[in-house]
Structure 1
């Protein structure tokens, strides 16, 4: 029997339709009702005065502890101009703080400020020059000299800053402590950081997390910007159908940013600035928007004491958190999206759906799992009959909104239209309650057994608690388990009829042709930029002085933030 094709998985992963981990474990439905109740009672919840949530599950029979932190910020919280900034922040928070990875932070401060000045002036001048080139006009020689000088100065300052960084200290600390699985990932509604440590090294986790919540230094910013651009190139741009699916899914999410790629749009990613990113981080990385989740050999009383010691003094900001925009509740009509590429044809059906707080959420999640089973009705209909090489289903989103996507790759000689028809007929049968009760109950039992096994692992349980916390309430992980165990065919039919109506589906056809999807074009070259000369620094500083009046508010606030970090670093060293 064929499995889900790697091509299908790659497409879904590249677009954020599948999570960073290999299989979607968030919001898992697992366990029978007594087990779910017992698991719920095993979670000890604490709330600090500044709003930080602490969740602890004690497992005295293990030797280590899964340490997770989660922040309610992801792709859904971004807007035009900053798409992908949540994911980029995740990368940068491994660059250390005023102490971690720092050789001499006092020397870094003026260089960080100056680098931001150089880059801001360079971006403004390059924008002006590209406008002239696009308009068919010549770029003045004086402007070209300034651009050349600023480019050279940017390279020089970046090199000087590199000499003040111990890039591997962050990782080495955890490795030396016996840590494993140090990682992080960003999703539509949250950003999660994790490491597994020996029980006697728990305090290290607290110190590091509190330090980068308060004292993060976004080193190697412009170098890392190139890294995430390359990540996007490898995961989306180089995947033949990646851009087609990306454009189609973005058009579905009216009224919210659920359809924006987690990695961001290239036009935004190229223009990230450190002051802009710092303002974003200060908006969302705050104790009342975060949770610490510990599962393993840990004492809840000790965990709370450490939380108060390391996080208790971090203030809750006076400003309210921005509110997320919900999806358009009434999308207009059925849509069809057709793209051409030079690889295997594919067909997909997609819907904008309610979020995790909606009554249809658990049935839709169960339906997605059912359709993904190799013994499920989608595989039987398309793969076992040799009509499709592979199929994949994903249901994902945030507490406000979601998306349900079905993808199929037809066998050679099988038309996309025939696969589309089979998929639509199957969904209509689901809406009418046409799934055999015996098949559904068998599949439900299999899903519950698999998810119960997943929850036996401390890391998985910690991850799922983070997911549910970010979706509004960590208790939903266990409460949804109880409901999932009692779902019926009629429940799936009602939810499919309400949330996946035929007249609101988006049909996506990725057709094979001789021409490929055009890659995101590179930035327009500015001709005639001279090599840097002996007066590079003088020209660059003069260009900055002229451009400074055009710098935005974030730029000047960042300068003050660096000074504040420096003052706190000096205070800690004195103590």
Structure 2
């Protein structure tokens, strides 16, 4: 949770000079180009973000956005499979990609004079990707192994996957980004080709460049390499509103594991779905009150104080396209039960609902939230990433400029109000992990959970 929270803070904080630093141009084919000039070193980061991720996927092809991300490295007419990465490496660069619930992004870090190499390669695979059955067969094995390592063999990740599927009834956030195993096993080239044609078009993408560049030169290069790519019609997604929850949901999962573990998730709005914007920022501050460093309430009270938890955390992501979850996680110390842990967490929640936090605590938490920006200012990658994320989920890149101001405006009473409004039993889903012996059959645990 702490890592996730830090990432969100990095993505959304910006310096006061931010608005003048980012320049925008939209090409005739709809490709949005953003440039952030940063002249401290002769390096450039190039990222291209597509508005498609696991939350766009219908049943039967869950995980296909992630699968297509893998296949985007498998060659075009101009560059056979593997050559993309070789060219970047030969030019002293690094490259990779990632898929989330609401986006798929590809990036390169290069010496500034080599930016055109990145553009040429990305423009080529935006329109000329080869999707071959033999390459898909190979990559299917890679993705299944990735799923096995990250989820099947990781009891905490497995518990979170089960929890998400229970907490959400109709939201596509109930599906894992990597997809369900039966869907992964049955992808066909035609499925990937259709997904590629549907979403990989310049009017569904944002190109972001951060580094030692001149904006006008970047815009000219973008026009040169991407300008001739024809745009295609993007079908509007159907509404994906989560059904109202009317009572607590619970599950107990039995898996091979060393220690017990609890996850608690409350339905909360994101910045995209909230009625009053301040609530999303107050929820962000609330997460920091609970789990914003060693002096935050959960580690201070439940680990060091009562010594009931060996690990504990909370997290909230205000940057989702759809309704989010406010999450708690904990492992009880030996001799304490998961029920003890649940009661202790709920006691901390009730304390925040019934009594306003002090001005001193609020000030310390805000300072910690905003201090996280120090990391971001040293990273071209995160400076570009915060723009891409805000733009691609539908907030608009300008929204990240407002983060510091909005956090500073949050009052202690607003923190209490959102705790009281959203951290309620009717919106709660709880998952217990009851460890089985490490030699137990994992499949029996999976059957039990369903």
**In the alignment, what sits opposite 1:393?**
314
Alpha-carbon distance between aligned partners in 1 of 2:114 and 2:13, rounded to the nearest angstrom: 31
Q: Which moved more, 1:397-406 or 1:303-312?
A: 397-406
Structure 1 segment 91-110 matched on structure 2, within 5 A: 91-101=70-80
- In structure 2, relative to structure 1, the CA distance for the partners of 1:240 and 1:268 (3 Å cut) is same
Superposition deviation, residue 452 in structure 1: 3.5
Q: Who is 1:375 aligned against? A: 295
1:327 to 234, 242, 253: 242
Whether the 8 Å contact between 2:9 and 2:369 is mirrored in structure 1 is no
Quick one: which of 160, 168, 172 aligns to 1:253? 168
**Equivalent of 2:282 in 363, 366, 383:** 363
Distance 1:520 1:422 in 2: 27
- CA–CA distance in 1 between the matches of 2:164 and 2:237? 24
How much has 1:260 moved relative to structure 2?
Answer: 0.7
In the alignment, the residues of structure 2 paired with residue 454 and residue 321 of structure 1 have an alpha-carbon distance, to the nearest angstrom, of 34
C-alpha spacing 1:184/1:199, structure 2 compared with 1 (3 Å): same
Distance change in 2, residues 1:446/1:26 (3 Å): closer
Secondary structure of residue in 2 paired with 1:261 = coil
Trace 1:207-246 onto structure 2 (pairs within 5 A).
Answer: 207-219=120-132, 220-246=135-161
2:367 is aligned with 1:445: yes
Give the distance between the partners of 1:27 and 1:334, measured in 2 at CA. 33
Q: How does 1:255-334 map to 2 (within 5 A)?
A: 255-323=170-238, 325-328=240-243, 330-334=244-248
Q: Secondary structure at the match of 2:105?
A: strand
Choose from 3, 22, 25 the match for 1:43. Answer: 22
- Give, in angstroms, the shift of residue 352 of structure 1: 2.5
Question: 1:328-378 CA deviation, whole Å, 9 max, x = no partner?
Answer: 2x2121111111223211112102322232222222223223433222011
Q: How does 1:136-147 map to 2 (within 5 A)?
A: none
Are the aligned partners of 1:58 and 1:298 in contact in 2 as well (CA < 8 Å)? Answer: yes
Aligned residue number for residue 518 of structure 1: 443
Equivalent residue of 1:509, what SS? strand
- For residue 494 of structure 1, report the CA deviation from its aligned partner: 2.1
Kept after mapping to 2: 8 A contact 1:340/1:516 = no
Q: Any stretches of 5+ residues in structure 1 without a counterpart?
A: 1-7, 10-17, 102-166, 522-575
Q: Distance in 2 between matches of 1:391 and 1:73?
A: 33
Which residue does the alignment assign to 2:415?
492
CA distance in 1, matches of 2:210, 2:324: 28
Q: 491, 504, 517: which is aligned to 2:427?
A: 504
Cα deviation for residue 40 of structure 1 reads 1.9
Alignment of 1:333-352 (within 5 A): 333-343=247-257, 344-352=259-267
Q: How far does residue 448 in structure 1 lie from its aligned partner after superposition?
A: 0.8
1:185 match: secondary structure: strand
In structure 1, C-alpha distance between the alignment counterparts of 2:285 and 2:100, rounded to whole Å: 20
Structure 1 Cα separation of the partners of residues 65 and 355 of structure 2: 41
Change (3 A) 1:72 1:519: farther
Q: Is the 8 Å Cα contact of residues 381 and 422 (structure 1) preserved in structure 2?
A: no
Question: Equivalent residue for 1:76?
Answer: 55
What are the within-5 Å matches in structure 2 for residues 405-444 of structure 1?
A: 405-444=327-366
- What whole-Å deviation, never above 9, does each CA across 1:485-510 have from its counterpart, x for those lacking one? 23222222222233332331112111
Decide whether aligned partners of structure 1 residues 319 and 64 sit closer, same or farther in structure 2, where only a CA change above 3 A counts: closer
Post-superposition offset of 1:30:
3.2
Q: Distance in 2 between matches of 1:244 and 1:456?
A: 35
Q: Where do 5+ consecutive residues of structure 2 fail to align?
A: none
Change (3 A) 1:224 1:441: same
8 Å Cα contact 2:151/2:158 also seen in 1: yes
Q: Say which is worse superposed, 341-350 or 508-517, in terms of deviation.
A: 508-517
Q: Work out which of the residue numbers 188, 192, 198 in structure 1 matches 2:101.
A: 188
Q: Is the 8 A contact 2:73 2:84 kept in 1?
A: yes
- Change in 2 beyond 3 A, CA 1:408/1:67: same
Contact 2:91 2:110 in 1 (8 A): yes
Count of residues in correspondence between the two structures: 434
SS at match of 1:384: helix
Do the aligned residues in 2 keep the contact of 1:29 with 1:366 (CA within 8 Å)? no
Task: Tell me how far 1:309 sits from its aligned partner.
Answer: 1.5
Q: Cα 1:474–1:27, aligned 2, differ >3 Å: closer, same or farther?
A: farther
Distance 2:28 2:316 in 1: 36
- Whole-angstrom distance in 2 between the partners of 1:346 and 1:320: 42
Contact 1:73/1:86 (<8 A) preserved: yes
Aligned residue number for residue 39 of structure 2: 60
Deviations 1:186-236 (A, max 9, x none): 111111111111111111111111111101113411110111011101111
- Is the CA contact (8 Å cut-off) linking 2:199 and 2:234 kept in structure 1? no
With the length of structure 1 as denominator, give the TM-score of the two structures: 0.72
**TM-aligned CA deviation for residue 239 of structure 1:** 1.4
Bigger Cα displacement from structure 2, 395-404 vs 197-206: 395-404
Is the 1:240–1:342 contact (alpha carbons within 8 Å) kept by the matching residues of 2?
yes
1:15 aligned residue: none
